[in-house]
Amino acid sequence: MSGLESRFSKIDFQITTWMARNGVLFLRLSVGFLFLWYGILKFFPSVSSAENIATTTIEQLSFGIVNGRFAMILLAVWETMIGLGLMSGKFLRETLLLLFLQMIGTLAPLVLLPDITFTIFPIVPSLEGQYIIKNLVLISAGIAIGATVRGGRLVAEPKNITKS
């Protein structure tokens, strides 16, 4: 290995080590921030761009028992709790349970309201559908964060791999 390759390899290892050490923390904080922000918006009528589709979905899922403003307050509290849980790092198991349950409800309009979530079902999502489908990334983030609640972590270079 040449000097330049050796220097690049050392810098690459340092950067990768830093990413492994901090990546899940940044993921947890950024996802927490999003949930907190979007949750707080839902406390204020007509502020959240998700208000119409969220209330319609909650009304359908609850068979009309939960409707309108109460649905938004419930969702606002739920999302704010997820945000605070992720940002604080406290009660992560419970927080992730809330996140995954909320994601089921969030994905429900793709099935319950295809006329709103797709312009051409099932291949061309509307803007609302795109807003919902991006939640697959939040689900994946929740899975990655969940892998750490029992001490799991990312490593820059696993010790048990053999180099060829």
* pLDDT tens digits along 109-124: 999 999 999 999 999 9
ω into residue 109 within 30 of 0, thus cis? no
At 13-43, the pLDDT tens digits run 999 999 999 999 999 999 999 999 999 999 9
What confidence score (pLDDT) does residue 126 get? Answer: 97
What confidence score (pLDDT) does residue 30 get? Answer: 98
What confidence score (pLDDT) does residue 60 get? Answer: 95
What confidence score (pLDDT) does residue 122 get? Answer: 95
Domain boundaries, the chain: 3-146
The 10 Å Cβ neighbour count of residue 88 is: 13
What confidence score (pLDDT) does residue 86 get? Answer: 98
- N-to-C CA span, the chain: 14
pTM of the model: 0.91
Q: Which residues of the chain have pLDDT under 50?
A: 164
Q: Among 39, 29, 108, which Cα is nearest to 73's?
A: 39
Record the tokens describing residue 17, joined without a space: 């080590």
What confidence score (pLDDT) does residue 163 get? Answer: 55
What confidence score (pLDDT) does residue 1 get? Answer: 74
* Cβ-Cβ contacts under 8 Å for 97 (sequence gap 6 or more): none
Whole-number Å distance between alpha carbons of 142 and 24 = 10
Q: Which residue has the tokens 């923390």?
A: 25
